[in-house]
Amino acid sequence: MLLIPCPWCGPRDEAEFGYGGQARVAYPEDPWALDDAAWAEYLFVRDNPEGWFAERWFHRAGCRRWCDVMRDTATNRIAGSGPTGAELPEVTR
């Protein structure tokens, strides 16, 4: 069970959250400039690391805000969190 540090509510049970996948995947600045391969990349391809991963969680049973969390996908250790787009701790194994 993950204990997710909501930047506003503090550490809360994972069951209070919804998962939003990889953090900071920006909508294309100029969508008309994208070819099919670039669209495929934007729509379908995300990082899938075995290790540290910046991801989004939505505190749906709490403050109902999105936050970014740095979590290790192999160990579930969480290095830190912040509002979306905030600096997250740089982590090395």
Partner 1 sequence: MTAELLWRTREPAPSYDAVVVGSGGHGLATAYYLARDHGITNVAVLERGWLAGGNMARNTQIIRSNYLWEASAGIYEHALGLWEDLENDLGRDVEFSQRGVLNLAHTTHDVRESVRRVNANRLNGIDAEWLSPEEVKKLVPIINISPELRYPVMGATYQPRAGIADHDEVAWAYAAAADRLGVHLIEGCEVTGFQRSGDTITGVHTSRGPISTGKVALCAAGHTSVLLDTLGLRLPLQSHPLQALVTQLLEPVIDTVVMSNTVHVYVSQVEKGELVLGAGIDSYNGYGRRGSFSTIEHEIAAAIALYPVFAHAHLLRTWAGVVDVAPDASPIIGLTPFNGLYVNCGWGTGGYKATPGAGHVFADTVANDRPHPLAEPYALERFTTGALIDEHGAAAVAH
Binding site for partner 1 (CB under 8 A): 1-2, 13-15, 18-19, 21, 36-37, 39-41, 43-50, 53, 55, 71, 73-76
First-to-final CA distance of the chain: 21
Count of CB atoms situated within 10 Å of the CB of 49: 12
Number of residues that make up the chain:
93
CB-nearer residue toward partner 1: 34 or 63: 34
The full 3-state SS of 41-62, as one line of letters, equals HHHHCCCCCCCEEEEEEECCCC
Closest CB 8 distance from partner 1, rounded Å: 20
Closest CB 29 distance from partner 1, rounded Å: 20
Closest CB 73 distance from partner 1, rounded Å: 5
